[in-house]
A and B are shown apart, each in its own frame.
Chain A
C-alpha cells in the first residue's frame, strides 16, 4: 500500500492512472523549467499602476478642481469637448438623457460604477497623444474636475487617496455581475 504524503501526490497518482495524455500534461504543470527571476518589492512598485476599487494602489498626492480645469482645457478638451460634453471621444459629463431613455447618455456621473477607475484610466491612458505623462497630482486634479462636472464632489474639494476611495458613484448598483450569475454567459 502506497502511503500518500500529500493531496498533490494523490492527484498525481490518479492522473497517472487516468491516461498518458493527461499524465504528460500534469507532469508539465509540475515541472516547468522555473525560469522566472525574483521581482523585488521596489521593482513591483515601479511596475504596478493598477488602482483597485477600494482605493488600494492610489498614490500620495492631491489635486483641486480649479487645477484640474486648467489641465483639462489644455490637454483633454480637444477630444472630450468643453466641460466633458464629448467630441470625437467619449462624453464624460452632462448627461441629459437617462439610461432608460431612447438616447441614453453613459457619462461618468450617469454610468461609471467606481471613481477609482477614473484615476486609474487617466493615469495609464490619458491624454491619448502622450499617455502616462501627467503627475499624480495632475491626475488627482483632472479626476477632481471631472467628478465636479458630474456633480459628484463640490467645487472646493481637494481630492486625494482618502477622499477618492470614499466616493460612492451614483450608478454603483446599476450593474448585473454576469460572471457571478452564470459564469459570464
Chain B
C-alpha cells in the first residue's frame, strides 16, 4: 500500500474542516475516518499488482558506454491499471529513466521501453519491477514488486580499436599485398616469380634462375597460422587503479583493451588466438577466439584479491597449447613475479615464446620527479625504488628470453600490438 499526494492534500483540507467547523476530537476523528474510508475504497478498487505478468525482450549485450533498449511488456488480467512502474537496475546499468507512468487497459497489455547506457563493464542484472497501482480516487495505491530477471552484458569498450587501421596497414605491408621493396617482409618462403625492375636484387634466386630462361626472385610472406595464447592475469595486481586518459581504470581493463587489440590484429594476420583468464584458477577460457566471442568472455571478469598462481597458469598453457606459440601474459611487473613466475619459466620458455605486457603507473613517474620538500623527496625515493625494481625484473626476464612491454595505460595496447608485429616481421613467432 502507498499513499499519494492527494491523501496529503485531503488531510490538509481536513485542517480547515477541523479548525473552522469542528474544533474538537470528534472532528479530528471524523476527518480521519473519512480519509481512511477514501483510502480503503481506493485500495479495494485499484488494479491488482500481484496478478500482473511481465515479459522482457531487447538487448542482451552492449558495448560499455553505448545506448541499448530493453522492453518490458506488462499484461494486466484484471481491472484497468493506472499508476507508475519502476524497472530497477543497479546504478552502473545506467538506466536513463527507470520510472514510467503506466495505463494498461483491463485484460490488455502495454510494452514499455527502458534505455540503458552501462557505465561499467560486466553483467548488469535487473532488480525488481515495482508497480504502484493507484485507485480511482487517486488517494491510495496498491504497490508490489515482481522479479523479472534480465541481464545486459556490458562488453569491454575496446577503446584501442582506433589503433587498428594503421596496424592493419602495417600488416598488409608485411604481407606483401602492398608494393613494398623492403626485404625481410616476412620470413616464410612463398613462391618464385620472374624478376621485374624494382625488385630487390638480393632476393634473386640464382639457382632457380640458372634453370630458367628468366631471372627468378623468391618472394616471402609473413608466417601464418601461428598460435597466440593470451593469458590475462585477473588476480590481485589487476585491481590496481591506474590513471589514464580515460580516467582511473583498473589495470585489468587496460589489459583487456590490449588483449582485444592484439587478438583483432592476430586474427587479421590469420594467427590463431587462444584466450585464457587466470587468477588462482581458470576464470575464462576461449580457444580459437574470435573478437565477438572474446568480448563476451571478457565482460564479466573482475579482479580478485588472490595471488596469481603462475605455476597453475603455466601448467594450463602447456596443457592446451600443443604446438609452439607466442604466450602473451598480461600482468603487472611486481616483485612477486620473481617467486611465482621465474621458477616455472624454463618449462614454458622451452616450448613457447613468452611476452609479458605490464601496465605501468604514470603516478609512479610523477612521484619520482617530485622535488622541493621532504615529503616529495621521500615519495620520489620510494617511487625510484619501485621503478628500479621493475627495471631489475625486466632485465631478469630478458635474461630468460622473455620480452617485456611495460607501458603507460594509454600506450600499452598500441605498444603490445607493435611488438607483436615486429616479432611477426622478424619471424620469431
Answer yes or no: do A and B interact: no
